[in-house]
Structure 1
Amino acid sequence: MTDVDVIVVGAGGGGLTAALAAHDAGAGVVVLEKAEHAGGNTALSTGSVPGAGTRFQAAAGIDDSAARLATDLLAQSGSHDADDLARLLAAGSAGLVEWLIDTHGVDLRLITDYKHVGHSVPRLHAPPSRKGRDLVADLLRAVRATDTEVLVHTPVAGLLHDEGRVTGVRVSGPRSGTYEITSHAVVLAGNGFAANRALLREWAPAIAGFDYFGAHGSTGESLQWALDLGARLGNPTAYQGYAAVAYPHGSITSWTTVEMGGVLVNGAGRRFGDESRGYSGYADAVLGTPGPWHVVFDTKIRDYVASHEEEFAELVAMGGARECASVEELATFCGVSPSALSTTLASAATVASGDDKDEWGRTDWGFGPLHAPYVAVRSVPGLFHTQGGLLVDGHAQPTTDTCPIPGLYAVGGVATGISGHTGGAGYSSGNGLLAALGLGHLAGTHAGARLR
């Protein structure tokens, strides 16, 4: 006799999606969250979920397919430990988006005005606000509508298991007390290990020095529980970074400002690479050049992005995006030489006009050359989440050298990511939520089906 059919550990996007899928498959579910609120890293994201071949794309005249998404993802990431998982998640992406919208009323809209990093066509579906916290609110409302309990302040301290099969969890916390819950299945959805400096030094030492801007609960203990049962780690040194976190505000400087033609300059007032590599892939380039660093664009780009993205509009309202009437005023704000900055912007304008080749290889310049008045955001690079995790099979079950671990599932940052074998350059926009929600759907569906 068990206490509940399925236990979900973690109430971020992956965990809440797993709970919905398990309920739809006929299981009784409880969600346990150690933090004060649901959300995790999903709440800090833009809430963007890739879906290839959705009816929303068809209505917009966008020709897309799962095969095209898989090709795009692997072109960005290169070969890694979870190539098959990338293809599997791509294959289920359209159904995932439409199930969330149609069955559970999650408000996702196709973003058609630009393609995002790593994608050859527009395929990201996001809340109208483009805020992950609104995606979490919709998922949480949908879960509660199924009468599924979501218990916050309820940290899981370990797995219960019997002869290799996971049979439940042990809860232990100052508010929750200590007790055990038994179940037929446990879904680990507590994200990765980016908030655990000791694990970063052990598994991904190259990024242990990054400032961390993700959810504080991403401490990786659930990975260790599974490893103790024989699970295997994949892509441990891969990560999602962000090249331009607004300083000192702490919110991201929307990379749309760069995609529309903005540039990053260093403490010498110079560009230092191809910014179109993406916000994650460019983070290491920022760390490799002296600061302070600034994202430079113009008022046309500022107004365009602010009209589409609430978080960026809030940054502007807080004074985090300084408008400058001239290159000289811009140079004073950035603390760099006016002549150096003038040369940098003039060179960028030339290649953005198509009159020359960019020395860094950049070819995509959005709206074209920048024009005064300019806008600058002081920024720093940061780490948002790790992409290494447990190797899983097609049902999101962690695997040993020989077989899946019975009764155990891993989703999102707990599972091996699909963003390359090492570093941050393999990250395509939406990869984190594709793995979180996509694996959550697979895990919950399989766990519920096994009960039947």
Structure 2
Amino acid sequence: MSMTDYDVIVIGTGAAGLSAAALAVDNSASVLMVEAADRTGGSSALSGGVFYAAATSLQREAGIADDTADAMYQYYMTLNQYKLEASLVRTLCEQSTEAFEWLREIGVGFTTDNLYASGVDKIRRGHRATGDGAGIVEGLEGFLSGKAVDTVLETRVESLLVERGRVAGIVADGQPVRSNAVVLATGGFGANPEMLARLYPDAARYGDLHWYIGAPTCRGDGIKLAQQVEGQVSQHNRGLLLITPGFAKDLESYLPGWLMMVNRDGRRFVDETIEYSVLAAVLDEQPGQDCYAIFDEASRLASRTTRYRPAPSWTAERLAEHVEAGTLVRGATLAELADTLGLPAKRLATTAERYNEFNQIGVDQDFFKPAEMLRPVTEGPFYAAHIRPGIICWTGTGIRIDTQARVLDAADRPVPGLYAAGETTGGMFGQCYAAGGASIGNAVIFGRIAGRGAALEKTRTTRSALP
């Protein structure tokens, strides 16, 4: 029997990697975590820390007693027209409750004040952790403290060790480290321009306008390592792009709901309060795949940020600064604004007139935006911000896995000894992001599955080595 340095090696220490390490040690495995950055946490620590789950104790505390994993699954698949890997989504939904309760048990804080409808189905399944993503990471790190886990930082894995047809460890800094199983949890590839252009072309459409909000060390290492052993990559061009007016490289998930948004044809095309999780997909269907947010002087003067729709770039003072900076267009009249933007002036006038009528009667008869979000566009000067899906939130193309988080090879068979979880995997995300918290949920749920499975490889390799 060959000697190993660790039972399990986990590459990456975001929510997926930390969850994998936690379940591996819970199953009596010795673990090495390898992280490319100078600290643990990955993109998870930078996130809003929302966990998407159904039938949870927090929902019951908030008086929601009838939500189910099946209802979550039906919503998730319907939103994406059943174009996802159903078995993975079913696993994600069915194990969301147990994974969420586990996070609470190990000390991650959740309160009913931070339970909200993060999807477009209006069911409150978005569980925001106290302390956001950093709070989830801190809880996982606290659980691992004092356990049989070693951590190496500022180290990038160069290749996988393969012996007798199975993954048997890694090579890092030119040195082999042996194990019974490896878990790939390296995050996405948002910080790799070449990989973005090849695997997620929508995220390279606007060149330098695009920017990535995840960890700068997320360069697609997991995909590269999986491909060394013929691991498959799921459907291309998947991920989440957030819309941006290009004011500054600040993350603002929401636009103010009172804006009147029009496409290049000068027409409204959506309820402007729609969730960010689907707005980028709606923009994909518009001419030029962009739009303009239009408002008047009265709306500018009344604009402020709120707790529920935080949009600090859209306060009255900041908007005036954006005009001076040239990132917000101003016109004395609506016709002048249309001419500057290259929009059909007469049609834009018709759109504004109809929108103003809706404001007067208190009903949006075209897109049914909530009445309190209707503001007239009547008082010059007029303003327009160019809105494009340019912020790369996360990448959804990744390694193909099965429901046991095992990496699948070119023949659709599991690669012995190799698991993957989190943003480095694919198959669970389509053109529409199901809801805020689906990515963190994916990381924790499949991280747990991968860690548990990887720990069991010790028994399998011991048996295979017996005479």
TM-score, L = length of structure 1: 0.81
Aligned to 2:432: 425
**Aligned position for 1:283:** 280
Aligned to 1:11: 13
SS at match of 1:5: strand
5+ residue gaps, structure 2:
338-347, 460-467
Moved more, 140-149 or 396-405: 140-149
Task: Name the CA shift for 1:271/1:393 in 2 (closer, same or farther; >3 Å).
Answer: same
Show the 5 A alignment for 1:46-445. 46-62=48-64, 63-102=66-105, 104-110=106-112, 114-129=116-131, 131-146=132-147, 148-172=149-173, 178-210=174-206, 211-214=210-213, 215-244=215-244, 247-248=247-248, 250-255=249-254, 257-258=256-257, 264=261, 273-276=270-273, 278-283=275-280, 285=283, 288=288, 302-305=305-308, 312=310, 316=312, 320-323=313-316, 334-337=328-331, 339-340=333-334, 347-348=354-355, 351=358, 355-358=363-366, 362-365=367-370, 367-370=372-375, 381-400=390-409, 401-420=411-430, 424-445=431-452
Q: Secondary structure at the match of 2:162?
A: strand
Partner of 2:47: 45
Q: Counterpart amino acid of 1:252? A: L
**How far off is 1:9 after superposition?**
0.4
Judge conservation of contact 1:110–1:123 (CA < 8 Å) in 2: no
Question: Is 1:446 matched up with 2:450?
Answer: no
RMSD: 3.7
- Distance change >3 Å, CA 122–CA 349, structure 1 → 2: farther
Query: Residues 124 and 393 of structure 1: is their aligned pair in 2 closer, same or farther, counting only changes over 3 Å?
Result: same
CA separation in 1, counterparts of 2:315 and 2:443? 36
Give a deviation string over 1:340-381, Cα, whole Å, max 9, x none: 3897777556547653422xxx33538443489999998763
Distance 1:391 1:162, change over 3 A: same
Question: Residues 118-166 of structure 1: CA distance to partner in whole angstroms, max 9, x if unpaired?
Answer: 444001111234x323322332233235352332111111111113311
**Corresponding position of 1:309:** none
Q: Distance in 2 between matches of 1:445 and 1:255?
A: 37
SS at match of 1:407: strand
Query: Shift in Å at residue 105 of structure 1?
Result: 0.7
3-state SS of 2:13 partner: coil
Instruction: Pick closer, same or farther for the CA change 1:162–1:378 going to 2, 3 Å.
Output: same
Deviations 1:20-72 (A, max 9, x none): 12122221112111012222221232110111000111121112110111111
Question: Following TM superposition, by how much is the alpha carbon of 1:79 offset from its aligned partner in structure 2, in angstroms?
Answer: 2.0
Unaligned ranges ≥5, structure 1: 173-177, 307-311
- CA contact under 8 A between 1:8 and 1:15: conserved in structure 2? yes
Matching residue's letter, 2:153: V
Give the aligned residue type for 1:184: N
What's the CA shift for 1:202? 2.6
- Kept in 1: contact 2:161–2:170 (CA 8 A): yes
Cα distance between partner residues in 1 of 2:45 and 2:432? 23
- What CA distance in whole angstroms lies between the structure 2 residues aligned with 1:121 and 1:114? 8
Q: Which has the larger radius of gyration?
A: 2
Identity %: 26
| Partners of 2:95 and 2:262 in 1: CA distance | 40
Q: Secondary structure at the match of 1:154?
A: coil
The Cα shift of 1:14 comes to: 0.9
User: 3-state SS of the aligned residue for 1:405?
Assistant: strand
**How far apart are residue 440 of structure 1 and its match?**
0.4
Judged with a 3 Å threshold, the aligned counterparts in structure 2 of structure 1 residues 338 and 165 are, in CA distance, closer, same or farther, namely farther
Worse-matched range after superposition: 5-14 or 424-433: 424-433
Q: 1:175 — aligned with what?
A: none
The verdict on how the C-alpha distance between 1:169 and 1:366 changes in structure 2, with shifts beyond 3 A counting, is: farther
Mapped contact 1:265–1:294 kept (Cα < 8 A)? yes
